[in-house]
Structure 1
Amino acid sequence: MGQIVELKAQDGHELDAYVATPQGEPIGAVVVVQEIFGINKSIRDVADGFAKEGFLAIAPAIFDRYEKNVILGYTGDDLQKAFALYSKLDVTTALLDVAAAFAKVSESVKKVAVTGYCYGGLMSWLAATRGEALGMLPACTFGYYPGGVGKVATEKPSCPVMLHFGGADSHIGADQRDAVREAHPDVTVYIYEGAEHGFANHFRDAYNPEAAKLAMERSLEFLKKNIG
């Protein structure tokens, strides 16, 4: 269903992106921002899933600034490499790459959402709070277990935002989600009791099918409300 395309960020950096195209006219578009494992099978499956729902989906390869064609698993050497690459990531340049993907799909549709997982979840929040300066005006954003969001919780979103957290997430404490709730009572925050970090990724040991299904149902309803 999908294909790799090349993008150019505002600073001139060239990067790849995976694009999944729906049958027929797209309802809108979704930028899917990766975890720290590249645009691997999980992220491509997410993009393909949105395409099946009628959305044009694009996943930018934000590791391309450091190494091309990064496709990683979740254990052993792959996990160590993921953390090594994660330490190099900078939110400012990562947002430029998200903005490049946003601009690409904006050529075809009027309304674009941004979503992401883990680091990508944080990017989805920052796309809502900082995107306007980069030419991104999302129709909405929705993030899954956005690590580090507590540090930027006071930033003001420019669009509707939904966040999904695992209640048993050992990487993201209750203080982070509480910080968002306290700063923005209008932001929709869901907590899935017993769900761990990565609960929506069916390739990870933490996968929780019940929580993942409910979170996606809520995400699609939110997406269609703000785009459809």
Structure 2
Amino acid sequence: MSQFIHVTAPDGHVLQCWHQRAETAPRGAVVVLQEIFGVNTHIRALCQRLAAAGYDAYAPALFDRLQRGFACGYGAEEVSVALKFLPQLDWDAMVRDTLATAAVARQPGGPVAAMGFCLGASVAYLAAQRADALSAVVGYYGGHIAQHLDSPPRCPTILHYGESDHTIPMQNVERIRAARPECEVHVYAAGHGFNCDERAAFEPASAALAWQRSMQWLDTHLR
């Protein structure tokens, strides 16, 4: 079963959140954090994959503060529209919305992880730095993480990067490795967005290996 629900942040903001119920008795919950393209078909497909693996999945609409219900694909014109949101981003607000979603996901009583992609990976990392609400973090190509290495995440964190990512220099990935050795960092023969099968950058072998590692991470830390 899947549907939009509503989540209320501490400041009273009400955001939409895509909720996909686990197909079996849930092993825990995963907050799935979007790219700049909103809670689109790719993010919903990831929720479905997690539900099939036994996790309740929650995908908060992090851009609802800017444009309610925004979601788009990966065509050139759509990318141009999505990029216009970048100067308006309120990282603290996205973290608040993430933690509010984690609180809803925890209501049945099980552990909660965050799995983020691009923008969402950085939000997941920041949320794990600021609160003890998460039991694990999985991040794919989070470009903002290298600017926030002053303190460790408060939960086990695994990060995936593509070695030919045109938006994230490998020196930034090496900075993360050096400054935050408690994080597990993997680099793949791929570019930015390699996990998304709706993008030209999709790299099936790297995506499969990263997903396998991500599922093992959740299995280990959501107990």
Q: TM-score if structure 2 supplies the norm length?
A: 0.97
Contact 2:32 2:57 survives alignment (8 Å): yes
User: How far apart are residue 65 of structure 1 and its match?
Assistant: 0.3
Counterpart of 1:64 in 2: which secondary structure? coil
Match of 1:80 in 2: 80
1:156 positional shift: 1.4
Following the alignment from structure 2 to structure 1, what is the Cα–Cα distance between the partners of residues 140 and 7? 25
Please give the secondary structure, in 2, of the residue aligned with 1:176: helix
Name the structure 1 match of 2:142: 146
Q: CA deviation at 1:79?
A: 1.1
- What CA distance in whole angstroms lies between the structure 2 residues aligned with 1:61 and 1:138? 19
* Stretches of structure 1 lacking an aligned partner (at least 5 in a row): none
RMSD of equivalent CA atoms: 1.1
Give the count of matched residue pairs.
223
Task: Give the corresponding residue for 1:10.
Answer: 10
| Structure 1 counterpart of 2:221, from 218, 223, 226 | 226
Measured in 2, the distance between the counterparts of 1:117 and 1:81 equals 18
Aligned counterpart, 1:48: 48
Q: 1:175 and 1:91 mapped to 2: Cα distance?
A: 23
Partner of 1:188: 184
**Identical-residue share of aligned pairs (%):** 35
**What is the deviation of 1:86?**
2.3
Report how far residue 88 of structure 1 moved: 1.1
Per the normalisation by structure 1, the TM-score is 0.95
Instruction: Give ranges in structure 2 of 5+ residues lacking alignment.
Output: none
CA contact (8 A) 1:160 1:187 kept: yes
1:207 aligned residue: 202
Distance 2:4 2:204 in 1: 29
Deviations 1:15-59 (A, max 9, x none): 100001012321000000000000000000011110100000100
- Residue 116 of structure 1: aligned partner: 116
